[in-house]
Structure 1
């Protein structure tokens, strides 16, 4: 990684010497060393960032966004970690067609699959834009966390931790650089959905590395997803200031060390709301599955919060969980919001001086919650009544929580832990929902259930298609009348998804639109190609 070149003419016969000066690198393992020999085009983004690409010059407009976001995220992360005495003086990004990713980058070298950087400003959606930014940001942020790959650091919990930290700061850089207020909510809901559903069917725990031959298995699965959510939970528990202080100290120590550093030892234990030692909180990585948080009424004055294993609801869970209970129904009396901690294999009693108060509360996940929530029947009914009677003004239930409620209800229904009628009654509120983030789990449910769409009602014993079609009636009217209140990029995504599933389900509205478009084309093919 040269700093500069100096030419001198002090040799006989005027033959010039060339002196090349290099940056001093931090301690590196052989795993961090790579040599690239290429004839790719060199595109200078700034004096410290270079993009190497075979087709970028011929299709510059498809890579313009990638170049901009690469520079902006790099500058943001340099500012974030400026106090750590860690600087990445030069970054070379290599864009390789059909590149089989190894899940990591080298120090100063970042490899991308070409298709992951392509974004068409004219035709691609904001969701595609976020995905491109996320793929780039994660790899750039990893530059500050990838110096652990030495023989003393082959600890199975380090790899997902560093992946999770890179994802956390990479995503933060995205929503601070892209000027869309809903991006943060979307990223939170997207990661929670993907991680919980993967964890329902696969083992998301870190792979224990006993020798170097198993090293490649670390990158065969996105195990950092659940760690990212747990890190968000930790940040809320100990405060943003303390979280950043601990991470900055950890980055400084690990980057200049050849020995393994314990991240939890850098967190002040008394900072969190339950005074739980941080090493115990980070044991989320060590247990299979995730907890189901159960909120139920014990008597007139006491409610109980408990946790059960996701794969065995008769067994108590092993996690430390920080819970914020939020009062949904403010009238006719006021109940306080409550911040509580559920401990391993222990129930938590919450007291309020009101009768039947429990059913007026939801578990507010805010920005993080690696668990599902199960309410009593009366609790689900209270939530449904609130959502369906507020005509779009959901002041007490955020878009993140609305998405979580729908996703949890569907999962519990599929696991025979919730009556199907409760789920379908709950989803009726979506007919008035205009937030793409809140709709996101329902679109994923459409995808999940689409495999049975070709079958008849008699074959599957339930008419899912009619239920889904009825759910789209009001949103389709809103699209047709163009009455969405605040048009933005996510509204475009919402319209596209609504129309996509309406046509998939052969909704009459879609059939009419298709017929009208065809008639216009046949009448004037040149004007309506």
Structure 2
């Protein structure tokens, strides 16, 4: 699944609001809006986990969630016919038949094949037929569906013989529901006509909802697909289609489209779509056929042009990077109105949310463009790493997704070399996931196979640890062995295991071969070093004493009082590649291999300073002795540009997180932001904004809000004036990619903190639009900020106008900005109305409901309303929108970020008690939230007085 679900990727849309009491909205909602764009690259299907009820006594084979190793699929022949109109019961259905050729590996009289929510009883009362060429196959003794483990179980009258090939034929009916999983329907309106798309999302365990299959990644096979579909529609699948044929079924004129056989691949990569979309594409004679598919109007408006322009270059980049040709004849990419993930790497037919593939110049923002480029790059990276070579089981998902996330920045950097994408990975992936991984409730990147068995356990792996931490540690590995060596190891890995499956150890082996060949000196083997980073959760804080040269490491936890129950065979020690620069010096590197050591190269001269973890290539935090902290503050104040821009951001982020963990004083972290009134670069400002967001979450309902707002105003006013002058009074767009992002920070923070003229500026732009709805002259990059500020400063008229614009938006990225901005209002009754709209799929698409709840909850006015609403409607939301633990966890996490009192902690405990019987093991989503609330309570009690005193010293006289 592509694109990370969870952690901020493109931050172009850093939005927001200006109104009394709304600075936390600005800071908080802008982070959430950026998070929505990701993951990363990937929102998750809400697939319900199977029942945990099993028979007492010895288990039968069908009681296990993993397939036995008795049968091996070779080839599927699948024919499906989706109905794009409802039947007499009001249901959309599909009918189908499938034949799977499989080989018997070991003797067995039992066939277990996955099937979920399929009805096999509609055709003459039989479930299945078994046959074999040139011989008589065993007959079926007994057949049934085992719902808890999602099997079609077939007992035979005599055993299957090893080495023999058999064919299993089934006919079935399924519902083409709107649950965004398996074979499902997506709906949209065009020219006031409702249209239906039949499409798929198989990952991780939903191919079994479309046809019976051996639905495990290692069970690779060849797929022959045929789709029967209405006249006026087109059918797509992984392979190039043969010429469609007109057929008649029960008097109805239909089209039958068959496809060339796929390459050998896993079931979760199968895809097929029936729609009446249009496309743009490359010349089919020019090599790989590339096509961009979308709603007809979107294609006519040119929304697919950017994706088409960048797909070819990114494909070429990966062919060179892997030193391996693209394995298929075509690359179809299709934008779907309803899609649970950000995108999905189906081999040859990549499916996307519209916001991840479509871009409209003048309407879409710079951040929207970056998002399209990085998601395309992520998906194309998978064509080799994940599709050609696939993980054996889901416990190694991090390798697929972490790898694709890391190299997506390389591909996007190649496609857009002026964007500094290799730097932006730090903001978009690394700093955010470090906060997640600093919890006692984090988890290792790699799990044991036996720990990941059920569908809900597999779904839980699609998180920011898998995507963003995976990317971070692979980036670190690539840095210390060099990118060239890393690439060469990938080439031999892909070459050896093409069309097969592997585990992470196979990759370490090939990278070690490349290291040995290149003569790269490492203190241990690649596997031994990386095991420390992948087989235990968390990361270290490295403390450097620049007076003595002593260097130590310890497991970093944001809540120092939390108890880590997860044991580690490595005792939470890491092999750390420590890099640093001193005043005017070049980069140095040293391996910290123990809990503590001494390195005299770290000792400073009388006036020197030192910054460790150069460009933040290592996945660790850095603490210093007091002398070096003071020297860094002095250097930032005197000439901040002497310190590399990534490290200016890193110093801020490390300081605030160390302070939150009570390792340094909070006032020391705040002093790291005093230089910002001279800073104009995006990365330091964005890092400071995100960290100060925590202060607003804790204190935006207290008397400290005013002094905090005053401090932000003092720091951001020069930045606001800088961008006013750079853009010639807001009439031009900054040329630099990151300047376009920082302009958003300047306006949003200036408006919220009361900088003169800012609020009038944004409200004026919005009013001009309201006066002439047909002409929106607001800069595309600033739309989210302007919309949110104007709606927050306005009332019903502004909200109703934005709602009408949202309903009529034909560009997904524009609708997304409006959907977010509607949550910025300060009117409780409008927020309650918006919450009610979330339960109507005709108003808010199911794919957007979780985020809309969270957007409203990030608003200080909306948070208690959303919290009460979710608790009051919990069962309805579960039943209508699914029980996927990731989306549920996101809602609970998002609505409780402000919780910092005993009363709020008890509310959480009570709610957990009320729903844990329904959620089962998924109720564990409450544990890290409870831990965070406890930590917030302690932090507020400890820091409120020092923060108040410091702010007074900084803002006196203002």
Smaller-chain TM-score range?
Answer: 0.7 to 0.9
Q: Match for residue 471 of structure 2?
A: 228
Question: Which of residues 511, 514, 527 in structure 2 aligns to 1:279?
Answer: 527
Question: Which of residues 266, 271, 274 in structure 2 aligns to 1:29?
Answer: 266
Question: Following the alignment from structure 1 to structure 2, what is the Cα–Cα distance between the partners of residues 383 and 373?
Answer: 13
Q: With structure 1 as the length reference, what TM-score do the two structures score? A: 0.82
Aligned length: 497
User: Cα deviations across residues 37-84 of structure 1 (Å, max 9, x unaligned)?
Assistant: 333324324431222322454653333222222233223223333x33
Q: Match for residue 308 of structure 2?
A: 67
Task: Note the C-alpha offset of 1:169.
Answer: 2.2
What secondary structure is seen at the aligned counterpart in 2 of 1:287? coil
Question: Which of residues 31, 36, 41 in structure 1 aligns to 2:278?
Answer: 41
Unpaired segments ≥5 residues, structure 2: 1-238, 244-257, 565-570, 729-733, 770-774, 779-958
Task: Note the C-alpha offset of 1:209.
Answer: 4.1
Task: Note the C-alpha offset of 1:22.
Answer: 4.4
Question: Which of residues 293, 304, 312 in structure 1 aligns to 2:542?
Answer: 293
Question: Following the alignment from structure 1 to structure 2, what is the Cα–Cα distance between the partners of residues 178 and 219?
Answer: 28
What secondary structure is seen at the aligned counterpart in 2 of 1:52? strand
Question: Which of residues 199, 205, 208 in structure 1 aligns to 2:444?
Answer: 205
Q: Match for residue 415 of structure 1?
A: 661
Task: Note the C-alpha offset of 1:381.
Answer: 0.9
What secondary structure is seen at the aligned counterpart in 2 of 1:107? coil
Question: Which of residues 237, 248, 252 in structure 1 aligns to 2:495?
Answer: 252
What secondary structure is seen at the aligned counterpart in 2 of 1:262? helix
Q: Match for residue 239 of structure 1?
A: 482
Of Structure 1 and Structure 2, the greater helix share is in 1
Task: Note the C-alpha offset of 1:368.
Answer: 1.5
Question: Following the alignment from structure 1 to structure 2, what is the Cα–Cα distance between the partners of residues 347 and 358?
Answer: 26
Alpha-carbon contact 1:125-1:493 (below 8 Å) kept: no
Q: Match for residue 306 of structure 1?
A: 552
Question: Which of residues 354, 369, 387 in structure 2 aligns to 1:114?
Answer: 354
Task: Note the C-alpha offset of 1:361.
Answer: 1.3
Alpha-carbon contact 1:126-1:490 (below 8 Å) kept: no
Cα gap change, 1:33/1:477 in structure 2, threshold over 3 Å: closer, same or farther?
Answer: closer
User: Cα deviations across residues 144-175 of structure 1 (Å, max 9, x unaligned)?
Assistant: 1123787x81162x321121222222210101
Q: Match for residue 465 of structure 1?
A: 709
Residue pairs, 1:339-378, within 5 angstroms: 339-343=589-593, 345-352=594-601, 360-366=609-615, 368-378=617-627
Answering whether residue 408 of structure 2 is matched by residue 153 of structure 1, we say no
Question: Which of residues 630, 636, 641 in structure 2 aligns to 1:381?
Answer: 630
User: Cα deviations across residues 365-414 of structure 1 (Å, max 9, x unaligned)?
Assistant: 33522111111221111111111111x5x24x211111111111111222
Cα gap change, 1:511/1:91 in structure 2, threshold over 3 Å: closer, same or farther?
Answer: closer
Answering whether residue 747 of structure 2 is matched by residue 499 of structure 1, we say yes
Question: Following the alignment from structure 1 to structure 2, what is the Cα–Cα distance between the partners of residues 258 and 488?
Answer: 43
What secondary structure is seen at the aligned counterpart in 1 of 2:359? coil
Alpha-carbon contact 1:84-1:249 (below 8 Å) kept: no
Question: Which of residues 547, 569, 574 in structure 2 aligns to 1:319?
Answer: 574
Q: Which has the higher contact order (CA 8 A, sep 6+)?
A: 2
Question: Following the alignment from structure 1 to structure 2, what is the Cα–Cα distance between the partners of residues 256 and 220?
Answer: 26
Question: Following the alignment from structure 1 to structure 2, what is the Cα–Cα distance between the partners of residues 139 and 74?
Answer: 10
Cα gap change, 1:21/1:105 in structure 2, threshold over 3 Å: closer, same or farther?
Answer: closer
Alpha-carbon contact 1:407-1:441 (below 8 Å) kept: yes
Cα gap change, 1:63/1:515 in structure 2, threshold over 3 Å: closer, same or farther?
Answer: closer
Task: Note the C-alpha offset of 1:230.
Answer: 0.9
Question: Following the alignment from structure 1 to structure 2, what is the Cα–Cα distance between the partners of residues 282 and 101?
Answer: 29
Q: Match for residue 266 of structure 1?
A: 510
Question: Following the alignment from structure 2 to structure 1, what is the Cα–Cα distance between the partners of residues 768 and 397?
Answer: 57
Cα gap change, 1:289/1:29 in structure 2, threshold over 3 Å: closer, same or farther?
Answer: same
Task: Note the C-alpha offset of 1:429.
Answer: 1.2
Q: With structure 2 as the length reference, what TM-score do the two structures score? A: 0.47
Question: Following the alignment from structure 1 to structure 2, what is the Cα–Cα distance between the partners of residues 21 and 98?
Answer: 25
Alpha-carbon contact 2:292-2:304 (below 8 Å) kept: no
Question: Which of residues 666, 670, 673 in structure 2 aligns to 1:424?
Answer: 670
User: Cα deviations across residues 120-167 of structure 1 (Å, max 9, x unaligned)?
Assistant: 3214432332122112211111111123787x81162x3211212222
Task: Note the C-alpha offset of 1:21.
Answer: 9.5
Task: Note the C-alpha offset of 1:255.
Answer: 1.9
Q: Match for residue 14 of structure 1?
A: none
Q: Match for residue 8 of structure 1?
A: none
User: Cα deviations across residues 490-522 of structure 1 (Å, max 9, x unaligned)?
Assistant: 22321221111111122335357579989999x
Question: Following the alignment from structure 1 to structure 2, what is the Cα–Cα distance between the partners of residues 348 and 242?
Answer: 29
Cα gap change, 1:77/1:351 in structure 2, threshold over 3 Å: closer, same or farther?
Answer: same
Alpha-carbon contact 1:32-1:149 (below 8 Å) kept: no
Question: Following the alignment from structure 1 to structure 2, what is the Cα–Cα distance between the partners of residues 239 and 58?
Answer: 41
What secondary structure is seen at the aligned counterpart in 1 of 2:545? strand
Question: Following the alignment from structure 1 to structure 2, what is the Cα–Cα distance between the partners of residues 247 and 180?
Answer: 27
Q: Match for residue 802 of structure 2?
A: none
Alpha-carbon contact 2:578-2:589 (below 8 Å) kept: yes
RMSD between aligned residues: 3.8
Cα gap change, 1:195/1:220 in structure 2, threshold over 3 Å: closer, same or farther?
Answer: closer
Question: Following the alignment from structure 2 to structure 1, what is the Cα–Cα distance between the partners of residues 718 and 502?
Answer: 60
Q: Bigger CA drift: 306-315 or 183-192?
A: 306-315
Cα gap change, 1:53/1:309 in structure 2, threshold over 3 Å: closer, same or farther?
Answer: same
Question: Following the alignment from structure 1 to structure 2, what is the Cα–Cα distance between the partners of residues 162 and 517?
Answer: 45
What secondary structure is seen at the aligned counterpart in 2 of 1:218? coil
**Higher CA-based Rg:** 2
User: Cα deviations across residues 272-330 of structure 1 (Å, max 9, x unaligned)?
Assistant: 44332111222211112211111114x5xx40222111128799841111111211x24
Question: Following the alignment from structure 1 to structure 2, what is the Cα–Cα distance between the partners of residues 101 and 520?
Answer: 36
What secondary structure is seen at the aligned counterpart in 1 of 2:500? coil
What secondary structure is seen at the aligned counterpart in 2 of 1:147? coil
